[in-house]
Structure 1
Amino acid sequence: MPAAPGRRALLGAMAAWPLAARAQGTRPVRDAAGRLATLPQRVTRVFAAGPPAALPVWSLAPDLLAGWVRAPRGPERAFLPPEAAALPETGRLTGSAADTASVEAVVAARADMILDYGSVTPSYAALADRLQAQTGIPSLLLDGTLAKIPDTFRLLGEILGREAAAAPLAAAAAHRLNDAREAAAELAARGRPRVYYARGPQGLETGVAGSINTEIIEFCGAENVAATQAGRGGLAQVSAEQVVLWDPDWIITPEAGLAAAMPGHPLWGTLRAVRAGHVAVAPVLPYGWVDSPPSVNRLLGLAWLPVLFGIRPRDRLADQIGALSDMLYHRRPDEAQLAAMLRSAVP
């Protein structure tokens, strides 16, 4: 049976795009999972498979990003340049809410490559293979581990032909990681605080041992009280009674409304962290400092957490956050925006 007109057009686009790439020459590229892909000599458009992948591309080469998995909304736009809002929303190919982007949409974006960023495991490598087979577009996987951010910027710079732009990003990331490691050693000598990360409107979703969502808390020297929870490497729902039993020294949450309600709550209000005023709101504009998504945006969290835990002074934090925002998002928050974020982030 002959293909329908729309289907024939799609198949034609998929066939024509590799031919255009071959016309300008190709080159082999190996990703963080060791997979070999063939890219055009000059990459002109990158399709982000999930929210974490969009951010390193935006930081390094905003002109190459084909679109946002989820376009910036409302107050998020105030922390990004106007060019960010002009990009389309593409949907996602990987992650907990996968497949909101169709194969047709990926091909229509006329990207030279698909980029995924996160866990470099056999299952995610197989997913990249499957995306490549379905779309006919080279699909690469980069390591989303916090400590690998400098390597990721350097590798992505090589992939995109933006080595010069990648060098200062990698250097800034390495500096933040090294400073956080030093702060963590000082914190360990003083006594590691026990921290609960309260996600979701009720605060009862959190990261367990090995979770990329709470990785930064442990990297900065604190103890994640939920690391003993059943499961590994992801998120878990816990009960309020379990949080009461943990009775952490600090609560960190991206939910400002939840934090404000905790002192008067019959359960949250009994916790030592709440009674001591040790509830910090992790900023989420334009992206989270702890996760949401777990990507290069966490570099801001590396500057913040040592201040929160009393290892680094507060007086330089606004300048550090401003400089990192300018480097990662191409827009520096103004003084009022910085003050509003830090007011609840460092109680």
Structure 2
Amino acid sequence: MLKDVNLRQALLLVFVVLLLFAENLSESPLPSELVVDHGDRLVEVPDTVHKVYATTEMGTFLAYALEPDSILGWNRGLSPELEFAVLDPYHNLPTLGTWDETYQTIRIDEIARLAPDLIIHYTANNPFNQVLADQIQETLGIPTVLLDNSLASLPDALRLLGHLLGKELRGQALAVFVENHLDKLASFQALHSSYQPIPVHIVSPREPGHFDELLGLAGMVEMPVWNDLPPLPDLVLIMPHTIADPYRAIEEDGHKRIYQIPSFPLNWLEPGSIFSLLGLEWLHSIAYPTSYSGELVQTYSTFMEVFFQLDLTPELVAWTLRRSGISF
């Protein structure tokens, strides 16, 4: 009889504990999703993400390509080229600043007022940025996801961000577009794998090594220091607007293959940019003019239509590719 009483008391105690546990569960917030980002960080994100702030300009454009309505603002004021590429309803979004390895112009109070559901830290996946992502999350009190901005990781970034924004189908479609293009470019490059890397000199305010990822994928190597004496680089690439008219002086030094880097709506060679997909094909086109059989003009037009819903006019194509070595 005593055993029965003790058993009933034990069962009653278990029932009370379970009841209290159930009450605690009912009072807890709605469950969130746990996501492993590209920095192997476990981040608890809301089930539904409507609005995001991206810490870098390239991250903002990545989110814009997937869901324009998701972005709360721009990292800096839109240039005329960017205004032309961006749909009208998004021209007047506020400027929210940047927070990355180089810049910290973020307007924390404004971001707190706008209360994004998620922070996107689209940048190089390295220990520094993994720590910085934690710092951003702690400072803003908003879940922060690190996405790798290398060109090779672009399909994964599109899929993950598409999932977070509830745009899985579009994320998958854009990822497949990028994968197919990268596979085509890799196949082309494999045909030239026996060649020595092509030496190039880049006229740019960027430090040597800044463009190494794309140059490596294109079978090129940068000559960062060049004293106007032989050996000359095979190609000279000039970033627009760096100096007034560099072509004549460079031609006088013996160069014939001088090209201006396309930059509409942003620099095609900038690491971490979705436009670097176009930049890689452009490098192939000028490095191997006799064997390159691609259609850069068509790829460029398709890219802008797919990612930015922008129909390029022949005049805009001509303006973008002026002095770039492309016949159109």
Worse overlay, 164-173 or 296-305: 296-305
What residue is the counterpart of 1:330 in the other structure? Answer: 309
What residue is the counterpart of 1:16 in the other structure? Answer: none
Asked if residue 65 in structure 1 is aligned to residue 71 in structure 2, the reply is yes
Asked if residue 307 in structure 1 is aligned to residue 308 in structure 2, the reply is no
Asked if residue 89 in structure 1 is aligned to residue 95 in structure 2, the reply is yes
Mapped partners of 2:67, 2:222: distance in 1 = 35
After TM superposition, the structure 1 = structure 2 runs for residues 113-128 of structure 1, keeping only pairs within 5 Å, are 113-128=118-133
Structure 2: gaps of 5 or more residues: 1-27
2:121–2:144 contact (8 Å) kept in structure 1 = yes
Distance 1:262 1:339, change over 3 A: closer
After TM superposition, the structure 1 = structure 2 runs for residues 190-229 of structure 1, keeping only pairs within 5 Å, are 190-200=195-205, 205-208=206-209, 211=210, 213-226=211-224
2:96–2:107 contact (8 Å) kept in structure 1 = no
Distance 1:255 1:39, change over 3 A: same
Match of 1:139 among 140, 144, 152: 144
Mapped partners of 1:244, 1:127: distance in 2 = 43
Asked if residue 26 in structure 1 is aligned to residue 32 in structure 2, the reply is yes
Deviations 1:136-189 (A, max 9, x none): 101111111111111111111122221101111101111221122122223334
1:195–1:225 contact (8 Å) kept in structure 2 = yes
Deviations 1:62-102 (A, max 9, x none): 11011110132223322332133132211111132x22113
Mapped partners of 2:307, 2:180: distance in 1 = 15
What residue is the counterpart of 2:322 in the other structure? Answer: 343
- Which has the greater radius of gyration? 2
Mapped partners of 2:118, 2:283: distance in 1 = 35
Query: Secondary structure of the equivalent of 1:59?
Result: helix
Mapped partners of 2:192, 2:269: distance in 1 = 19
After TM superposition, the structure 1 = structure 2 runs for residues 225-236 of structure 1, keeping only pairs within 5 Å, are 225-226=223-224
Mapped partners of 2:104, 2:322: distance in 1 = 38
Distance 1:271 1:144, change over 3 A: farther
Match of 2:180 among 175, 180, 190: 175
Mapped partners of 2:145, 2:157: distance in 1 = 12
Mapped partners of 1:125, 1:256: distance in 2 = 34
What residue is the counterpart of 2:236 in the other structure? Answer: 251
Match of 2:261 among 277, 282, 294: 282
Match of 1:188 among 187, 193, 199: 193
Which AA in structure 2 matches 1:340? Answer: W
What residue is the counterpart of 2:161 in the other structure? Answer: 156
2:268–2:278 contact (8 Å) kept in structure 1 = yes
Structure ranking higher in helix proportion: 1
Give the root-mean-square deviation of aligned CA atoms. 2.2
Deviations 1:300-338 (A, max 9, x none): 113322212224236x22111000111222213211100
1:183–1:220 contact (8 Å) kept in structure 2 = no
Which AA in structure 1 matches 2:208? Answer: G
1:197–1:252 contact (8 Å) kept in structure 2 = yes
Deviations 1:6-47 (A, max 9, x none): xxxxxxxxxxxxxxxx86642111110011111111101110
Mapped partners of 1:246, 1:132: distance in 2 = 50
1:50–1:95 contact (8 Å) kept in structure 2 = no
Mapped partners of 1:256, 1:183: distance in 2 = 31
Mapped partners of 1:174, 1:307: distance in 2 = 19
What residue is the counterpart of 1:76 in the other structure? Answer: 82
What residue is the counterpart of 1:107 in the other structure? Answer: 112
1:225–1:246 contact (8 Å) kept in structure 2 = no
Which AA in structure 2 matches 1:157? Answer: G
2:48–2:166 contact (8 Å) kept in structure 1 = yes
Highest RCO, 1 vs 2 (Cα 8 Å, sep ≥ 6): 1
Mapped partners of 1:246, 1:155: distance in 2 = 46
Mapped partners of 1:60, 1:84: distance in 2 = 14
Mapped partners of 1:244, 1:156: distance in 2 = 48
- Identical amino acids, percent of aligned pairs: 23
Mapped partners of 2:240, 2:322: distance in 1 = 14
Match of 1:39 among 36, 42, 45: 45
2:203–2:242 contact (8 Å) kept in structure 1 = no
